[in-house]
Structure 1
């Protein structure tokens, strides 16, 4: 690796920065509707009042009886086959913010965050798409609508600044491939479905050619049940119409010489708001196309914030986050939510297909201030992830939008602040990290809801079996009580006897409304605008002695908090903390941050699936909407990708992250 040490300084001095008219990154207002504030959602500081302590008090000292042998446990899930249970769905319109501006300028924090998941689960699944994939069009690198040096662009029309197309160049595939050469990321792409009479399949053709085995699947339509609502089809448009169009797509793919494998489609990706997946299955979708499907998919958000964010926040129909807060701290709601798709998952299994929750998060239209960006969402996403796994969901993809949403697992800073600010981590990223560690790399993990404490809504628990034996126990405490009076003491007993001791890792926040000080096994990624993708601090694994005479291990769980109990002190996951593979850079972006976000712009992107208006997006590039026609330098074109220069790749690839982007050779 020493020969690759090339420290590239994009600038020899640090220039002063003057910001004119910059929206505040955070605000301290804690009352009134979010719509009255001007802060970017990703940096919003709104805190809600935690739900009251249960009255009467719950049983805080309860026992959980466990079987050691999986064969003695009815109702276990199918074995979970890796990589990580949680992956990420990145809206196509914000790929530049998350992955990088081109194949030679890749976001270092993203690489580090993926490396940490790879360390625990062997790899990560990432989908590039969303509602904006339906308008995606590949253009040549010299297309005047693509900003010089960039892989992505948009076409905007009319005085309403309506998004017409998301533009990308062939370099998008080299960017993804370069990422996969450094961390084990596997990709899903989406075939545009806005014009079924004139299929645009370049994304499939170039994707298979360039990504090869790194490309797992191609989505055939995104939320087709919303197509009439979004104006993409004329009514009536029914499940049978969608099924017919998928057949037409298959016929088209089989005529394209660059398509080496047309049998990796993903569908039906219904939202469950207009159609349910079962209605598509009833058309013969699975029977007729099973040989062409990589996976069966759905998309679902438990609630939406569309009216409050983009309509009248005082409308009686607008969701009040404070009133909704308790919903996300109730295990019964998680069980009910996951149960909507149990039959779908089992149907997929009968056809030998993975079942993927292809897009999800705390709420559509960006989620909720004070919920989606707090410790509450970390606990909720963990509980929901375990619950989906118990019901044979194979993977779930947490959606990633821009800086205008609350629910992001990770957010890059505004582009003019990359010299002095770093990334912001959303609490649900910790959920993905913990799930990866809980399931591990064995490809044998089976999960069961233990219905602990008489199935109390505040104290869910799960058993995790690997290689046919009890491996770990997951314990939750949803109650918010800093006094310690509602901390749990859970007595674990095991048929066949407990070990001499167990090891415990804790996911902790001082309150369910906490946004910053969240730790996993004593380590944290840092507070907003300080994240480089690496864990900080020393790992803290608690050893708890067991009473073998009484066959009991008593595990404390703070209120609020989560505990992952390792039954074997030799479990390899105990030693996992920071991935030994990390990335560093000395490169900075110096761009004007001129992002404009029309209030109706994101109703049909970034998971905002409940609006009726078409997307209207502004530009993230200074003056780009008025750029004159001209040739941009090629980023690779038909000749291949530009070279990558990895900065600071030392042995274990450990280095100081000085900026937000990476140049790789």
Structure 2
């Protein structure tokens, strides 16, 4: 698969000349700007040209003159079940140095969401945890530990879900006060309940419970919380299937309660909550990267953005994964899920979503960060999150990217940041592809960082930019593959079932 990836023969010569040039500049401060430009041109002339096209042809045109949405600085996100704090108290801790390092690798800012189905089954005790306290209870000990963990991330904020399944507005208002006091400015928002359309299915509401019943319950919770915390930040409705429940839940909720929330929230899974019947990686990979994901989902995300912006609200995917209900072993913990995750993050970003919170735990199949044999390790989705960050990520502006796929299963996204243009290309096809990249402004050089593995079924050996996450949690993508461009058009080869981030300067 990776036979297309060839080393840059001029890299070592290039680095040597860079050092010589820098030394000359330091010793000769009188060098005029035009002479420095000449030195720069000389350096660039040592870079090798891009490899010739050796895959099937596709193309993407980037309009660098029309920057659009800015990707939020807290786009990166992780999501955990409420009862996970008690089930695995050694994971989300301020002394879990490797986990904290891996979170910080993703960006200085981000969001951790605590909620899920267990938020509607976990009861607030208003007291500390004792040896006989069950995992279906939430205590002051748990919240104190969680608050310390969030603080230790250095800039990430918390979305916290209160129990609305077991209806008790007064008790949960007390919980909200404790959470707010413990988190302080690290509290991003409170939510009431989880996937409200499913409350009747789980027996927590009578049959026929709908958005009207939910809004009535939500309003009582709002009043109870705001009586104690007048400025409490709220989000909702945290619906399942956010992309296809717009008219059923999200729109009525936003129409009636937009003035009370700071964020419109919902969930998304690659399989759309449908049962996974196939067991081989190829079939499941094809199902979660089907036309639904790559044609319908962006359209629906656009509709969500239209709804949110009509009320000057941001929206966020607060729970997400390749396959629902914990994921599927051999699928959600394999490399194919990284390609899916990278695509989905860009779909949300292009449609002005404020972030994606990937659901998980230390042991679930779809988690971005896991614990294996006592060690904190990255899973494939984590490498996708790194690729998104290195592909411009937070703070960059989306650029229009027009793809001509010629029937191939591939995508391309573009953004700009600090004068550079970033293009992410994801090849889901079984064929090697050669992207012809057409830029509206000529580039001098490009640097490539590849997201690769031996196959879509690989669980190990995943790299980004030729690098892996260290045992201590640190990560550096290295220098990448560097090539001279000197034109508006160039070719980038992307092997089958891999992705690449290209930085144009």
Distance 1:398 1:448, change over 3 A: farther
Q: Deviations over 1:293-336 (max 9, x none)?
A: 0200111223278867xxxxxxxxx4444532322455763332
The answer to whether structure 1 residue 518 and structure 2 residue 462 are counterparts is: yes
User: How do residues 283-322 of structure 1 correspond to structure 2 at under 5 angstroms?
Assistant: 283=252, 285-303=253-271, 318-322=277-281
Cα distance change of structure 1 residues 457 and 87 upon mapping to structure 2, 3 Å threshold: farther
For 1:269-288, what aligned pairs fall within 5 Å after superposition?
269-272=238-241, 276-281=245-250, 283=252, 285-288=253-256
SS at match of 1:249: helix
Q: Which residue of 419, 423, 441 maps to 2:376?
A: 423
- Is the CA contact 1:134–1:192 (under 8 Å) kept in the aligned structure 2? yes
Go from structure 1 to structure 2 and tell me whether the alpha carbon gap of 1:432 and 1:143 turns closer, same or farther (over 3 Å shift): same
Structure 2 residue 130 is matched with structure 1 residue 186: no
Compared with structure 1, are the counterparts of its residues 328 and 237 closer, same or farther at alpha carbon in structure 2 (3 Å cutoff)?
A: closer
2:220 to 219, 225, 248: 248
The structure-2 alpha-carbon separation of the partners of 1:331 and 1:504, relative to structure 1 and needing over 3 Å to count, comes to farther
Whether the 8 Å CA contact 2:243–2:268 is kept in 1: the answer is no
Q: Partner of 2:203 in structure 1? A: 231
Shift, 1:363, TM fit? 0.9
Question: Does structure 1 residue 407 correspond to structure 2 residue 366?
Answer: yes
Indicate whether 1:110 and 2:82 are aligned. Answer: no
Matched, 1:477 2:468: no
CA RMSD of superposed structures (Å): 2.8
Deviation at 1:337, TM superposition (A): 2.8
Q: Deviations over 1:239-283 (max 9, x none)?
A: 101011111111111322xx2523x21111121399823223554
Deviating beyond 6 angstroms after TM superposition, the runs of 4 or more aligned structure 1 residues are: 304-308
Ranges in structure 2 where 5+ consecutive residues have no aligned partner: 1-53
Deviation at 1:216, TM superposition (A): 0.4
Deviation at 1:174, TM superposition (A): 4.5
Distance 1:303 1:329, change over 3 A: closer
CA contact (8 A) 1:545 1:553 kept: no
2:109 is aligned with 1:123: yes
1:451 correspondence with 2:418: no
1:470 Cα shift? 6.6
Q: Distance in 2 between matches of 1:543 and 1:188?
A: 40
Give the Cα separation in 2 of the matches to 1:96 and 1:298: 25
In 2, Cα distance between equivalents of 1:360 and 1:525: 23
Distance verdict in 2 for CA 1:241–1:96, change over 3 Å? closer
CA contact (8 A) 2:391 2:503 kept: no
Q: Please, which of 485, 491, 497 is the counterpart of residue 546 of structure 1?
A: 485
**Matched-pair contact (CA < 8 Å) for 1:265–1:293:** yes
Tell me if structure 2 keeps the 8 A contact 1:329–1:376. Answer: no
Q: Give the 3 Å change call, closer, same or farther, for CA 327–449 of structure 1 in structure 2.
A: farther
Aligned to 2:231: 261
Aligned to 1:638: none
- Partner of 1:251, secondary structure, is helix
Q: SS of the residue aligned with 1:219? A: strand
- Shift of residue 517, structure 1, vs aligned partner: 0.5
> What secondary structure sits across from 1:364 in the alignment?
coil
What secondary structure is seen at the aligned counterpart in 2 of 1:504? strand
* Cα deviations by residue, 1:385-414 (Å, 9 ceiling, x for unpaired): 1112222222111101352x321111124x
* 2:474 paired residue among 506, 531, 534: 534
Q: Any conservation in 1 of the 2:99–2:376 contact (CA below 8 Å)?
A: no
Instruction: Tell me which residue corresponds to 2:322.
Output: 362
Give the TM-score taking structure 2 as reference length: 0.81
Q: 1:495: Cα distance to partner?
A: 2.2
- Partners of 2:292 and 2:483 lie apart in 1 by 30
- What displacement does 1:381 show? 0.7
Q: Does 1:492 align with 2:431?
A: no
Q: Does 1:81 align with 2:72?
A: yes
Corresponding residue of 2:17: none
Q: In 2, distance between residues paired with 1:219 and 1:332? A: 29
For 1:141, the equivalent position in structure 2 comes to 128
Q: Secondary structure at the match of 1:254?
A: helix
Quote how far apart the aligned CAs of 1:344 are: 1.7
Count of residue correspondences: 449
Distance 2:237 2:199 in 1: 13
Asked if the contact 1:377/1:428 (under 8 Å) is kept, the reply is yes
Counterpart CA distance in 2 for 1:451 and 1:230 is 43
**1:166 is the counterpart of 2:156:** no
Q: By percentage of residues, which structure has more strand?
A: 2
The answer (yes or no) to whether the contact 1:228–1:234 under 8 Å persists in 2 is: yes
Alpha-carbon shift at residue 479 of structure 1 (Å): 3.2
**1:351 corresponding residue in structure 2:** 311
**CA distance, structure 2, for counterparts of residue 337 and residue 321 of structure 1:** 24
Q: What is the TM-score normalised by the length of structure 1?
A: 0.62
Deviation at 1:290? 2.1
Corresponding residue number in structure 2 for 1:325: 285
Give SS of 2:437's match. strand
Output the CA distance in 2 between the equivalents of 1:461 and 1:519: 20
Contact 1:305 1:319 in 2 (8 A): no
Alignment-derived partner of residue 296 in structure 2: 336
